[in-house]
Amino acid sequence: FVNGKFCKDPKDVTEKDFFSSGLDIPGDTSGRVGSNVTAVNIEKIPGLNTLGISFARIDFAPYGLNPPHTHPRATEIIVVVEGTLYVGFVTSNLANGDNRLITKALKPGDVFVFPTGLIHFQFNVGKTKALAFAGLSSQNPGVITIANAVFGSDPPINPDVLAKAFQLDKKVVDYLQKAF
Amino acid sequence: FVNGKFCKDPKDVTEKDFFSSGLDIPGDTSGRVGSNVTAVNIEKIPGLNTLGISFARIDFAPYGLNPPHTHPRATEIIVVVEGTLYVGFVTSNLANGDNRLITKALKPGDVFVFPTGLIHFQFNVGKTKALAFAGLSSQNPGVITIANAVFGSDPPINPDVLAKAFQLDKKVVDYLQKAF
Amino acid sequence: FVNGKFCKDPKDVTEKDFFSSGLDIPGDTSGRVGSNVTAVNIEKIPGLNTLGISFARIDFAPYGLNPPHTHPRATEIIVVVEGTLYVGFVTSNLANGDNRLITKALKPGDVFVFPTGLIHFQFNVGKTKALAFAGLSSQNPGVITIANAVFGSDPPINPDVLAKAFQLDKKVVDYLQKAF
Amino acid sequence: FVNGKFCKDPKDVTEKDFFSSGLDIPGDTSGRVGSNVTAVNIEKIPGLNTLGISFARIDFAPYGLNPPHTHPRATEIIVVVEGTLYVGFVTSNLANGDNRLITKALKPGDVFVFPTGLIHFQFNVGKTKALAFAGLSSQNPGVITIANAVFGSDPPINPDVLAKAFQLDKKVVDYLQKAF
Amino acid sequence: FVNGKFCKDPKDVTEKDFFSSGLDIPGDTSGRVGSNVTAVNIEKIPGLNTLGISFARIDFAPYGLNPPHTHPRATEIIVVVEGTLYVGFVTSNLANGDNRLITKALKPGDVFVFPTGLIHFQFNVGKTKALAFAGLSSQNPGVITIANAVFGSDPPINPDVLAKAFQLDKKVVDYLQKAF
Amino acid sequence: FVNGKFCKDPKDVTEKDFFSSGLDIPGDTSGRVGSNVTAVNIEKIPGLNTLGISFARIDFAPYGLNPPHTHPRATEIIVVVEGTLYVGFVTSNLANGDNRLITKALKPGDVFVFPTGLIHFQFNVGKTKALAFAGLSSQNPGVITIANAVFGSDPPINPDVLAKAFQLDKKVVDYLQKAF
């Protein structure tokens, strides 16, 4: 099934294997962070297998945040359709251990790239809702929301690890692990 | 410069290397086919190098057509934002030489995939303009508009080749080569 | 089965999994275009899985044409064994929309490359039959004969699409769709 | 320089292009987290270009921690040589948003894999120092130490982003941004 | 220059960048082993860069041998055009250390595959000369003739290494190192 | 199962899928060549599938030899932990047919790279045992011990092939084929 062979016999493939719907419907942004990602990947479109791309709609409430996260197997490219987004990513450690933050305020029609595996975020800094579309360079990009993965994993990470890593009091770690 | 190394020294990279603007501006669809593709690829965003993705905005006048074409190095995934598009692609020859046409009428929010290298088209079948966004699985996908490449190449393809291939009278080939 | 693992248990692999025969037999070139491609790919040699290569024999009647086509997943390299072939490919659109035609007349012993996904053709410009062998950079390269895919797909492409794309009268489109 | 071509003329290559020294010397673990990674990648061995691998030595003081981090372009495989390490990684979000923590206590001779791009850590849970070696599946794997990238980037991430993402009081964010 | 970008500005590319000649001329098989490989790779066709394929003509004198060798970066697929070849390859060590020999006698029109990196040979077992063409899955496949690399390297491998590895008397190793 | 999808449902993955043990135990070096490789690859760690890396421990008796071999699908990077190793690899044939030997004497802490598919060896030139760890750039690198593959394949290679390739008397070939 590698390199251009479909999983199904090509004679049995139909348009349904390459189709998905619903990206006209805003995601629910009433949650705590005020953003919602509607992903269209190989789970929804089986014909994407081996094709190396997927898509997403990202909705933001006013002041909504798509919090710092990574895609372990994909670069992301977004276009802002509505609203104003303050976006950024942090580069890998250089030899001296620094992490550079690259940011940009985006308005409708602006396009920005988040290179594969780097921590990035999108923040709606306007009073109105915002909307972006994104292409991702994998049919199965994965997403790791940093705060959830670190403080909300199942089971939880050993609090000693987090207290030491984040220079936090264990009470704060405990509070965070309960919150996520 | 392969596998995650930027062309520039990482310390000199700025947000401009990952940014492009203008996808809020409808492309000019007043041409013959009535469609316009605004591509955002490595020519516009140098930071896309090695990252394997690019983006595009596609505008359609009423009854506008993005004519049959291929991307020699990319799969395309589109979302319709406005209007109704009749889209399709033709599969590779199977053993018996048939080419299957896979089509779908898309309305806003619908997503469709055109696998790498296959001939595909998008046709606005509505009375109003249409708009789609597309992700492509290469920073440099290329585009081959079939009619232009076949009948409008520079210099022209030997008319004997085209007459034989397309079962056309050489006068028709001559007419087409002048048209494109 | 990725990256060097055979589909079969390595202990059960035999020489038959890496073997095919029959490339000494000229293909039937009595058809309309006067050429015939005998492909040896993963359909014939299962051991090619993941190995990224296949092979073909291409026969040409006098004035036979291997009509404009693409391989969506492979670059092709050919050697002419007999006869004289006029070959060419058309590059991707550049920024200004031009498509360059790169051509060469080949005699026995000449080698030519058709880059992945680009439209190319081989035309026997001599009075005698011609023969070429080809290597392709995929175990499953696929082939899209442009005229057949455009005018001979099953089901047919909407004639409005083709009339507009090729600047053809719908009667001519109708004629072509019946011919292919 | 892709696919097996060295950057230097092969005739000028010497053993120095494939060599590095110093992995017998324990790294300095006197810092806050009590661990030290000595990486041997393309910066140290230019001959690694295009070869897709690098190596590292990881030293741990008693109770030393290699804090949660990712390699954006590599899977890591480690062997413990000395001491006892409690290691783990967190999987990507599944459809329902959970992040699974996969952990294991490792003793000398144990091998563990951290898949590409996933957040992982190694914690010396013993009273004595510990030592591990690691192979990484890229000549330039990169490393993103989560706490440093999130709270210690240069310039700092907007505190509103971090307060909202981590459910932290802005005072705590301010404290953390000063600490890192 | 990765993923479909030519090294030259596409506007300056000519047919010469995709062309080579001379594969109609039999190689000189008067040497000791009685075979000759004429390779057409990126050294001869610069346009092959990133395209992942190359080609070769292999001539055999009666009883000529293309001795055991590997291509470190390519799978090879051959077609026999003239003569009878006894060909084979040896699989990787399995868990129990065995190496399986897969062989086949090939006549004109037969096709055989030698998977990437495996030791293989082609032996003309007929009284007449033989000819084969080969496709290789890299623009720069490399070739390692085992006997030459082992006994004829420059400078020579330490004779103790070879005596021990091949269970040969050092006098025989010395003899072989002078022969190659 | 390509590009980051586990073979198992991600919800059923456990730490056992990413774990192996036993690399603290010296391999048995009492055999003829005096070395032993303990490999940890996809056979031992199923979670390595698609991740492109594996690991090994290499033990050497005094004057033990890891004899000339190749990994058909991987580059190897080693670190010496104990003892002194004389290591080397032979480059591909250049245009003029020479094979360059690149060697280095390694002491503890030294790192060396053996590029994919090239013949290489490691020889303990000290009076004491030696130990190295190695990373390999494939989950299934394969190993071809040259002497065993050439003289010890099952079934044996035609002695005429080996006599001609290695310029050996057939009696010597017969002796070697019985020895391996």
Question: Which tokens sit at B125?
Answer: 């079948």
**pLDDT, tens digit, 9 for 90 and up, residues F30-66:** 999 999 999 999 889 988 988 999 999 999 999 999 9
Residues of E in contact with B72 (CB under 8 A): 4
> What residues in chain D have per-residue pLDDT under 70?
1-10, 94-97
**Measured between alpha carbons, how far is A87 from A103 in angstroms, rounded to an integer?**
6
Predicted confidence at residue F6, as pLDDT, reads 45
Q: Is the bond into B159 cis (omega within 30 degrees of 0)? A: no
Q: For chain E, positions 140-179, list CB contacts with chain C under 8 A.
A: none
**Measured between alpha carbons, how far is D73 from D116 in angstroms, rounded to an integer?**
6
> What residues in chain E have per-residue pLDDT under 70?
1-10, 94-97
Residues of D in contact with F52 (CB under 8 A): 52, 75, 137
Q: Which of C6, C21, C136 to mutate to probe the E interface, most E CBs <10 Å?
A: C21
Check E73 against D5: CB less than 8 A apart: no
Answer yes or no: is pLDDT of A83 > 80: yes
Q: Give E163-167 contacts, CB < 8 A, sequence gap 24+.
A: E164/F32, E164/F33, E164/F34, E164/F65, E164/F67, E165/F33, E165/F65, E165/F67, E165/F68, E165/F121, E165/F146, E165/F147, E166/F147, E166/F151, E166/F176, E167/F32, E167/F147, E167/F176, E167/F179, E167/F180
Check A117 against D144: CB less than 8 A apart: yes
Of residues A41, A53, A50, the one with CA closest to residue A2: A50
Predicted confidence at residue A97, as pLDDT, reads 60
C4 at F interface, C-beta within 8 A = yes
Check C116 against B32: CB less than 8 A apart: no
- Look over chain A and give the mean of its residue pLDDT values, rounded to a whole number: 91
Determine if residue F93 is labeled as part of a ligand binding site.
Answer: no
**pLDDT, tens digit, 9 for 90 and up, residues F19-36:** 999 999 999 999 999 999
Helices F170-179, F159-166: crossing angle, 10 deg rounding: 110
Q: Which of D85, D87, D144, D171 to mutate to probe the A interface, most A CBs <10 Å?
A: D144
Q: Which residue of A has its CA nearest to C52?
A: A3
E110 in Cβ contact with E79 (< 8 Å) = yes
Question: Which tokens sit at E95?
Answer: 């868990």
Torsion of CA C162, C167, C172, C174, to 10 degrees: 20
**pLDDT, tens digit, 9 for 90 and up, residues A138-160:** 998 999 999 999 999 999 999 99
D25 at A interface, C-beta within 8 A = no
Q: Is the bond into E155 cis (omega within 30 degrees of 0)? A: yes
Residues of C in contact with E103 (CB under 8 A): 15
Chains that touch D (3 or more CB pairs under 8 A): A, B, E, F
Q: Which residue of F has its CA nearest to E68?
A: F165
Alpha helices in chain A (DSSP H): 146-151, 159-166, 170-179
**Measured between alpha carbons, how far is D121 from D132 in angstroms, rounded to an integer?**
13
Residues of C in contact with A51 (CB under 8 A): none
Going by C-beta distance under 8 Å and a sequence separation of 6 or more, which residues neighbour residue C159?
C170, C173, C174, C177
B97 at A interface, C-beta within 8 A = no
Check C111 against E25: CB less than 8 A apart: no
Residue type, F144: I
Q: Which residue of A has its CA nearest to C50?
A: A2
F101 at E interface, C-beta within 8 A = yes
> What residues in chain C have per-residue pLDDT under 50?
1-7
Looking at the complex, report in whole angstroms how far the Cα of residue E44 sits from the nearest Cα belonging to chain C.
10
Check E65 against F164: CB less than 8 A apart: yes
**Measured between alpha carbons, how far is E170 from E155 in angstroms, rounded to an integer?**
17
Per the annotation, binding residues of E for Mn(2+) are: 69, 71, 76, 120
Q: Which of B164, B169, B175 to mutate to probe the C interface, most C CBs <10 Å?
A: B164
Q: In the A/B pair of chains, how many CB contacts fall below 8 A?
A: 164
Residues of E in contact with B142 (CB under 8 A): 4
- For chain A, give the number of residues: 180
The helix/strand/coil state of F177 is helix
ipTM of model = 0.92
Between D168 and F1, the higher pLDDT residue: D168
Q: Which among F21, F52, F107 has CB closest to D137?
A: F52
Residues of E in contact with F150 (CB under 8 A): 68, 90, 119, 146
Q: In the D/F pair of chains, how many CB contacts fall below 8 A?
A: 165
E145 in Cβ contact with E177 (< 8 Å) = no
How many whole angstroms from its chain centre is CA C72? 10
Residues of D in contact with F24 (CB under 8 A): 81, 107-110
**pLDDT, tens digit, 9 for 90 and up, residues A101-141:** 999 999 999 999 999 999 999 999 999 999 999 999 999 89
Instruction: Give the confidence band of B46 by pLDDT, cuts at 50, 70, 90.
Output: confident
Chain A and chain E touch, per 3+ beta carbon pairs within 8 A? no
B138 at E interface, C-beta within 8 A = yes
Predicted confidence at residue D31, as pLDDT, reads 94
Query: Where exactly does CATH 2.60.120.10 map onto chain D?
Result: 15-142
Determine if residue F71 is labeled as part of a ligand binding site.
Answer: yes
B5 at D interface, C-beta within 8 A = yes
Please, which residues bridge with residue A80 across strands? A132
Determine if residue D124 is labeled as part of a ligand binding site.
Answer: no
Check D165 against A33: CB less than 8 A apart: yes
Q: Is the bond into A155 cis (omega within 30 degrees of 0)? A: yes
Q: In the A/D pair of chains, how many CB contacts fall below 8 A?
A: 177
Chain D and chain B touch, per 3+ beta carbon pairs within 8 A? yes
**Measured between alpha carbons, how far is F95 from F117 in angstroms, rounded to an integer?**
18
Chain F and chain B touch, per 3+ beta carbon pairs within 8 A? no
Check A101 against D156: CB less than 8 A apart: yes
Predicted confidence at residue B97, as pLDDT, reads 60
- Look over chain B and give the mean of its residue pLDDT values, rounded to a whole number: 91
Residues of C in contact with A15 (CB under 8 A): none
Determine if residue F148 is labeled as part of a ligand binding site.
Answer: no
Instruction: Give the confidence band of F5 by pLDDT, cuts at 50, 70, 90.
Output: very low
Instruction: Give the confidence band of B2 by pLDDT, cuts at 50, 70, 90.
Output: very low
Q: Is the bond into B26 cis (omega within 30 degrees of 0)? A: no
E116 at D interface, C-beta within 8 A = no
B113 at A interface, C-beta within 8 A = yes
D73 at A interface, C-beta within 8 A = yes
Check F4 against A52: CB less than 8 A apart: no
Of residues F147, F156, F107, the one with CA closest to residue F128: F107
**pLDDT, tens digit, 9 for 90 and up, residues B73-129:** 999 999 999 999 999 999 987 655 678 999 999 999 999 999 999 999 999 999 999
Going by C-beta distance under 8 Å and a sequence separation of 6 or more, which residues neighbour residue D45?
D17, D18, D19, D20, D54, F111, F113
Check A1 against F4: CB less than 8 A apart: no
Instruction: Give the confidence band of F4 by pLDDT, cuts at 50, 70, 90.
Output: very low
Angle at B147 between CA B143 and CA B151, to 5 degrees: 115
E52 at B interface, C-beta within 8 A = no
Phi, psi of D28 (to 5 degrees): -75, 115
Per the annotation, binding residues of B for Mn(2+) are: 69, 71, 76, 120
Architecture of the B15-142 domain: Sandwich (2.60)
E104 at C interface, C-beta within 8 A = yes
**Measured between alpha carbons, how far is A122 from A120 in angstroms, rounded to an integer?**
7
Of residues E169, E157, D173, the one with CA closest to residue A167: D173
Percent pLDDT > 90 in chain D is 82
Of residues B53, D91, D77, the one with CA closest to residue F139: D77
What is the mean predicted confidence (pLDDT) over A10-34?
A: 92
Predicted confidence at residue E24, as pLDDT, reads 98
**pLDDT, tens digit, 9 for 90 and up, residues F147-174:** 999 999 999 999 999 999 999 999 999 9
Check A147 against D167: CB less than 8 A apart: yes
Check E3 against B142: CB less than 8 A apart: no
- For chain F, give the number of residues: 180
Check A157 against D101: CB less than 8 A apart: yes
Q: Which among B68, B72, B158 has CB closest to C86?
A: B158
